[in-house]
Chain A
Amino acid sequence: QKEVEQNSGPLSVPEGAIASLNCTYSDRGSQSFFWYRQYSGKSPELIMSIYSNGDKEDGRFTAQLNKASQYVSLLIRDSQPSDSATYLCAVLSGGYNKLIFGAGTRLAVHP
């Protein structure tokens, strides 16, 4: 079982729709979770962090965390073509703050 799992996609949504990206993790002791956006050929960019159960909203982005189900999600409202990218879910692990990444979900927003 992979430590962090994501659906590789591509997830295709029309412009203006809500994109829903999901992630599961195996370490029940994990406390810190991050979403990074990565455009093709570029480095990952941090877009959301979440540490407590529930929802955290930042602009068009909402991160959701359910530790009991070991599940993290990212919702993107009013999706734009510029949101087309790979979204990486990362979990903080170990005493030295190592990030464990999923393989990423490729999102395509079409006009």
Chain B
Amino acid sequence: ETGVTQSPTHLIKTRGQQVTLRCSSQSGHNTVSWYQQALGQGPQFIFQYYREEENGRGNFPPRFSGLQFPNYSSELNVNALELDDSALYLCASSPRGGKDTEAFFGQGTRLTVV
């Protein structure tokens, strides 16, 4: 149990729709990162939020966007869903720190785009 919670756990959407995924970070953690994990692959970094601002972004198009709130919780929004967006979306919570910063994942949201 990491203390990182994500909602919903499962979601089915139609191509072209929009989706919002939510994450509550572990107590004391002010940094939230989002990852996409396709079947059979390792998680891929989408972006990171620190103090309500995007603080680094991976190789994902602008239709992937996010927010962080004053309580450090975060949202991932994906517009114009494509079939390839079907994946496990993971939120990782960590304290702001140096090289010994450990990140802990929520249970993930399984998104299926049909």
Contact = CB atoms under 8 A, between A and B. Distances in A.
Are both chains from one complex? yes
B28 interface: no
B48 A97 contact: yes
A45 interface: yes
Nearest to A93: B45
Interface string B53-95: 0011010000000000000000000000000000010101010
A22 B106 CA distance: 25
Contacts of B102: 34, 46, 49
Nearest to A97: B101
A43 B56 contact: no
B48 A43 contact: no
A35 to B, nearest CB: 11
A99 B56 contact: no
Q: Sorted from nearest, which 6 A-B pairs have the closest CB atoms?
A: A101-B42, A96-B56, A43-B108, A43-B105, A32-B99, A31-B99
A44 interface: yes
B43 A101 contact: yes
Nearest to B107: A43
24 contacts: A4-B42, A31-B99, A32-B99, A32-B100, A32-B101, A43-B105, A43-B108, A44-B43, A45-B2, A49-B102, A51-B99, A88-B42, A95-B56, A96-B55, A97-B31, A97-B33, A98-B33, A98-B56, A99-B33, A99-B35, A99-B43, A101-B44, A103-B40, A103-B42
Given A96-B55, A97-B48, A99-B92, A46 B103 contact: yes
A103 B41 contact: yes
Nearest to B97: A97
Contacts of A101: 35, 42-44
Interface string A57-74: 000000000000000000
